[in-house]
Amino acid sequence: MKYQIPKGLFDILPNAKESFKEVNRWQYLESIINKLAIDYNFEEIRVPIFEKTELFLRGVGATSDIASKELYTFLDKAKRSMSLRPEGTASVMRAFIENNLSQEKKFHKLYYMGPMFRYDRPQKGRYRQHHQLGVEIIGDKSFEIDAEVIDMLVTLFKRLELKNLKLLINSIGDLETRTNYKKALLDFLKPNFENLSEESKARFDKNPMRILDSKDERDKKILKEAPSILDFLSDAAKKHFENLLNLLDKLDIKYEVDSKLVRGLDYYDDTVFEVVSEKLGGAQNSLGGGGRYNSLLKSLGGPDLPGIGFACGLERILQTMIEEEVYFPEKEGPFLYIIPIGEDAKDFAILLAKDLRHHKISVDIDLNAKKIQKSLSLADKLNAKNALILADDEMQKKVASFKNLDKREQQEIKFEDLKNFIRDKFYKL
C-alpha cells in the first residue's frame, strides 16, 4: 500500500526550491514574527490543537462557515465531541477565562502561532491544515488599541518587504446597529432574491451580512446599490471609527474604507479589517484579518472585557513573498564539513567533530567519503562554509587541508594546531 498525505495538507521540507514548503523560509518568517512580538511587547500563549466542539460553535459562531461546515469533528473514546481548532481566538478566550488571567492584570497582549484546521475545498492558498500568527489584545476598548493592532499587522508586511498589499477597514457597529442594518439589507435584497447566487440565497436567512462579501459577479452587481452599514452606526461607533481613521492617517498607514467588509466570523463588533494581496488571486487573497470583539469573553462565561485581534495565514504570506520575489536569507550550512578518506582519518574526524561541537561550532562529517571531489560538491550543496580534507597524504604528514569554500582557498594546518585554528576562524566570523 502506498501511503499518501490527506488532501489539502502538505509537508514542510528541508529542500523545496521555489516553494513555500521549504522549512528555511518558515524559520525566517517565524523569526521576523517573534521579533515583531517582542517589539510590540506581546506575550506568547500556547493553546491545544483540539477543544470541545461546543467552544467553537459558541465562540466562532454556529452560523459561520468555519463552525457550521468546516470543523474537523470527532468523538473521543468516551464519545465526547471534540474538534480540531479552526482558528485561535476562541481557544485563547477559553484559556484566558479558565486560567483566571484577568485576576493577575486587566490588560493583556497575547500572540500565538500554529496550525489551524478547516475542511474546505483545497486550492492554492486554501488548505485543510494552515498556519496562523494570531494576536489578541484584551482589556482595552480604545481606538488607539485598534490602531496599534493594525499598525502591527502592517509593520509585519513591511518588514517582510511585501508591497502590493491593500488594507481594507470597516466598522460593523454594535449588535443594535447590525440588527437594524440586517433588516435594511434584507429589504433591499428581497426583490432581487431570485437573481442571487445559490450560496447567497442560503445565507439570506442564516447570515445575510455575509452576502456582502460574495465573490459572485451577479451578487456583486446587485450589491452595488446595497445600503451601507456605515450609515447605521450609533454615535459612539461612528466616533470610534472616525478617531481610528484619523489616527491611522497620522501614523501614515494607508487604508481603504470598504463598507462591504464583514469578515467570516460571528464575534466581531465595531472595527474590522483585512489585508489583501493584489498578487494572490480570487477568494484566497486575504493575507490576514481581524477585528474587535467586545462581548466574546462575556458570552463564553468570562469577565466583561473587550478584545481585538487579527490572524494571518503563513502559507499565503510565504506564497506572496515568493511571487513578489522578496528577500529570503540563504539556508545556513555547517561551518565545517570534514572529509575523511580511510578508517584512521574517520576516527580522527569523529573526535575532532566532538571537540568542535562541544565549542558550539557546527560541524558535519562525510562518513562515506571516498572521492574528495564528490564530497566537496556535497559540501557545496549543504552550503557548508569550509571543508577539511583528511586523505592518506594528509594523515601521513599529520596535516589537514582546510578549504574556504567561498574563496576556494586551501591551506595545510598541522594536527596540533588544528583545533585552535578552526576555533579562531569561527569566532572571528
Question: From residue 120, how far is each of 67, 130, 137, 230, 309 by CA, in Å?
Answer: 11, 11, 29, 31, 24
Residue ranges of alpha helices (H) inside 126-277 are 143-159, 175-189, 198-206, 217-223, 235-250
157 vs 45: CA distance, rounded Å: 22
User: Do residues 423 and 359 make contact, with C-beta atoms less than 8 angstroms apart?
Assistant: yes
Rounded least distance, CB 121 to ligand HAM, Å: 9
Rounded least distance, CB 117 to ligand HAM, Å: 9
Kindly list the residues in this chain that would bind ligand HAM in the complex (CB under 6 A): 87-89, 118, 120, 125-127, 130, 132, 134, 136, 264-265, 286-291, 309-313, 315-316
Rounded least distance, CB 201 to ligand HAM, Å: 23
Rounded least distance, CB 44 to ligand HAM, Å: 15
Please, which residues have CB within 8 angstroms of residue 263's CB and are 6 or more apart in sequence? 213, 272, 274, 289, 290, 291
Rounded least distance, CB 211 to ligand HAM, Å: 17
Question: From residue 398, how far is each of 19, 260, 355, 391 by CA, in Å?
Answer: 45, 76, 18, 10
Q: Which is nearer to ligand HAM, 134 or 334 (CB)?
A: 134
User: Do residues 324 and 279 make contact, with C-beta atoms less than 8 angstroms apart?
Assistant: yes
* Degrees to nearest 5, angle at CA 254 with 149 and 263: 55
Q: Which is nearer to ligand HAM, 319 or 375 (CB)?
A: 319
Q: Which is nearer to ligand HAM, 87 or 366 (CB)?
A: 87
Q: Which is nearer to ligand HAM, 280 or 339 (CB)?
A: 280
Question: From residue 407, how far is each of 336, 362, 376, 426 by CA, in Å?
Answer: 14, 19, 14, 16
Q: Which is nearer to ligand HAM, 130 or 385 (CB)?
A: 130
* Residue 293 CB neighbours (<10 A): 25
Rounded least distance, CB 324 to ligand HAM, Å: 16
Crossing angle of the two packed helices 23-39 and 143-159, in degrees rounded to 10: 150
Crossing angle of the two packed helices 143-159 and 235-250, in degrees rounded to 10: 40
Rounded least distance, CB 200 to ligand HAM, Å: 19
